[in-house]
Amino acid sequence: MNIGICGTGTIASWTSDIMNQLDDPSIVLYACATAPGFDCTEFAAKYGWKKVCASYEELMSDPAVDLVYIAVPNTFHYDLCKQALNAGKAVLVEKPFAINDTQAAELIALAEEKGLFLCEALWPSFLPVRKAIDEEITALSREFFHGGHHRQTDGRRYRHAGQCAVPGSGQEPGAGRRQSAGRRALHVGLHDRPLWGGGGVRLR
**pLDDT, tens digit (0-9, with 9 covering 90-100), for 127-183:** 788 888 888 888 888 777 665 444 444 444 333 333 333 344 444 444 444 433 344
Predicted pLDDT at 158 = 36
Question: 166 burial class (0-12, 13-18, 19+ CB within 10 angstroms)?
Answer: middle
Dist. CA 26–CA 44, nearest whole Å: 19
| Domain 2-121 in CATH 2.60.40.650 | no
Grade residue 126 by pLDDT with cuts at 50, 70 and 90.
Answer: confident
Q: Where are the domains of the chain?
A: 2-121, 128-196
- Residue 135 phi/psi, 5° resolution? -65, -40
Q: Which of 156, 152, 151 is nearest to 168 (CA)?
A: 156
For 51-77, the pLDDT digits (tens) are 999 999 999 999 999 999 999 999 999
Dist. CA 88–CA 170, nearest whole Å: 59
pTM of the model: 0.65
